[in-house]
Structure 1
Amino acid sequence: MSSNSNVSGFVECECRVPQTAQIWTSWMPDNPGRRFLACKNYKKGGCGFFSWYDPQMCARSKAIIPGLLRGRNQLESEVVKVKKENRKMKKENRKVKMLIVITWIL
């Protein structure tokens, strides 16, 4: 898995179209967060051009970063769940308030 930083490299890939090489970020376990140059059409197969932009990470970084990313993803998932529950509770709260108003009127 990788992401594109939308920053054009100063290198042309083998497609020979100016500014087709872009900087991407690897999120694979062996190279988490490590950037590389690849064809702009990398995700579609592209021309196969590839070159590391960043030096290799130390073993400790390779061990720690994936765990941090998993933790972050779990937290983001929990935030989505809490927001959904919050919307549900607000809706229920409005219903209860309406029932209270109705009982006071009657």
Structure 2
Amino acid sequence: LNAAAIMTLTKTGATARNVSKFRPKTPILAVTPHVDVARQLQLVWGVKPLLVLDLPSTGQTFQSAISVAQEKHLVSDGDLVVMTAGTLQGVAGSTDLIKVEMVTA
């Protein structure tokens, strides 16, 4: 797929840790609204935490996270990003969604 990043929405950090176990060559961007989780994830292999406000929908959270990642020069226009999230908003351990999206301005 040659994606620029794997973006995981995570409340506890578990999703990012699980992806990290496979040691992908692609950077893992762990999107979380919790400062303590972001700090813990700084120690996990291949994971770069992104602090993003807890928005009402998964789509809004992903768009906000992509904007933050672009500001930090982690992704740029035209890059492919693999996104993972749970469809049950706010429920830890419910990751059941994988989405591939192209970054646009």
**What is the TM-score when the length of structure 1 is the normalising length?**
0.22
* Higher fraction of strand: 2
| Structure with bigger gyration radius | 1
Query: Relative contact order (alpha carbons < 8 A, sep ≥ 6): 1 or 2 greater?
Result: 2
Q: Normalising by structure 2, what TM-score?
A: 0.22
Structure with greater helix share of residues: 1
